[in-house]
Amino acid sequence: MAKQKGMKKKHRIRNSIENIILLIAIAVFCFAAYKIISSQLEYKQANDEYDKLNTAYVKIEAAPEIVEIDGEEVMENPIDFAGLEAENSDIVAWIEIGAIEASYPVMQAEDNDFYLHRTFEKVYNFAGCIFLDYNNKADFTDKNTIIYGHNMKNGSMFGNLKKFKEEGVYESNPYIWVYTKDYIYKYEIYACQEISVNKRLPINLASNRRFMEYVRESLENSDIDTKVTVDKDDRVISLYTCTTNSSSRFIVNAKLVEQYKSKN
């Protein structure tokens, strides 16, 4: 009898342990499902917001008209900056990267944290915004202008920048367009590479030597051979995003090749 009681007790303990394990497994599953659903909802919310902005304020044409006025080339600005500024005065530009179909507003705050996880509407969302380094001039006249964006899993924001390492992507469209209220800039990509997370990108390059050191280093470490040359008088942009490796970041470098006065 005592033996039977002992066996029943062990059986109850085993069942209790199994039930606890089952409950833990269910809890883990539910939490994982919650995280996945939450992430998907955030992706959708961010995509919907930026799609709405593209529809309402962007009218980019394949072949925009360029005219010469008072010796300066002038282009019709396809971005309604008045409308965008009425919604958020932190906007400084709009960026278009044709090869990866990226089209986003570019923001600038008093630090590099504010738009890290806030959208154009200043709503919390992991996708955040594309934003300019707070140390850069908002008119893109620095020797090197740094633009940040998240490497989103669904390819949004700067999630597809890494595709420039793939064969044929750079060749399909090597240009990046940056539209500001006063000027429109056309950049040509000259390099892309993975760098250490500890490497700080220079902005205020006080000398031509420092600038050319940065350019040479970018070209030497580039994952693609573009044949594009950069000289001391050029201005460049560096698009910066994270990677799946927490110790590295991915950047795309491009130099200014055309500048147009904006016709609003």
pLDDT given at position 37: 47
261 forms beta bridges with 74, 183
pLDDT tens sequence across 11-40: 566 666 666 665 565 555 545 443 444 555
pTM, whole model, 2 decimals? 0.84
pLDDT tens sequence across 132-154: 999 999 999 999 999 999 999 89
pLDDT given at position 208: 84
d(CA 201, CA 204): 10
d(CA 263, CA 240): 30
Positions of the chain with pLDDT under 70? 1-41, 206
Tell me the domains of the chain and their CATH numbers: 53-263 (2.40.260.10)
pLDDT given at position 264: 77
